[in-house]
Amino acid sequence: MVRASTTPHPGSRPAPDHHSGDARHTHLVVASSRLPRRVALVRPPGPRLADGIVTHIERSPVDLDLARQQHAEYVAALAGAGWDIVTVPPADDCPDAVFIEDTIVVCDDLAVITRPGALARQPETATVDDTVRDLGLRVEHIVAPGTVDGGDILQIGQTVYVRRGGRTNDDGIAQLTEALARVGRTTVAVALRKVLHLKSAVTALPDGTVLAYDDSVDLDHFPRVLQVPEEAGAHVVLLGGSDVLIAASAPRTAELIDGLGWRPVVVNIGEYERLEGCVTCLSVLIP
């Protein structure tokens, strides 16, 4: 088991300085249309982070300085696993902008820019669009009246599971299904209860085994399911190979997946969990 630190592994790209006011120092510039080997999109927390939307939990105070530190450690964990960090320019007027996952769905070389279900979050997508175009991805958009939150999308192999309801509506699902069919993906809509996003309820290990904590989602949709002992244990990010990013708030689940032969990379994201965030929310990985 690995506990992530702010020191990247030798040969990896250093984590960006999120406190710099100059976007040129935080945005990996790609001169050609060829995508680097493995890219992780991130966006630093803004000054209004504590005003972020909470839906299913009670609001509690957020320590912005600690949140910035935790974000830097999260980014360092991605860099240490060999991902090239691309920092999307800040959206300081949008408290939830750090949760970049909700703005984009990437399959192969196609980036679908979402239309978030919360009206206040819709301005977050513009700079994400600019960034992935700079990277050479093909871009499509979810348009009104459709809404899609990226956190409602779980990709396992060639199947894309989409939460129906909440911030992702039927029109958005139809648009996403049509776009992803063009890159060979099959879309399956699933109902969800009690939690904000599909990936608040389930994610998957590298072998496709779905991690679930409770009955928030109909698990009959998934061929293999592993029940985990902590809610945060249902949230993982696949870093490549056997490396699996998981929150420090799920130590028993980290031990469980370690025993299965995977390598947990543990990060503390406690300030983001106060805003219904999890490890998947803070990045978009483009293999």
Instruction: Identify how many contiguous H helices and E strands the chain contains and give both numbers.
Output: 5, 16
CA distance 88 to 46: 12
The Cβ of residue 139 has, within 10 Å, a number of other Cβ atoms equal to: 14
Helix/strand/coil for 164: strand
Amino acid type, 265: V
Residue 197 annotated among the catalytic residues of the structure:
yes
Q: Which helix (H) or strand (E) holds 39?
A: strand 39-42
Structure tokens at 25: 């120092």
Q: What is the distance, to the nearest Å, from the Cα of residue 188 to the centroid of all Cα atoms in its chain?
A: 19
CB-CB contact of 102 with 53 (8 Å)? no
Strand partners, 267: 247
Residue from 71, 197, 235, 278 carrying the catalytic annotation: 197
Look up 94 and say whether it is catalytic.
no
Active site residues: 197, 281
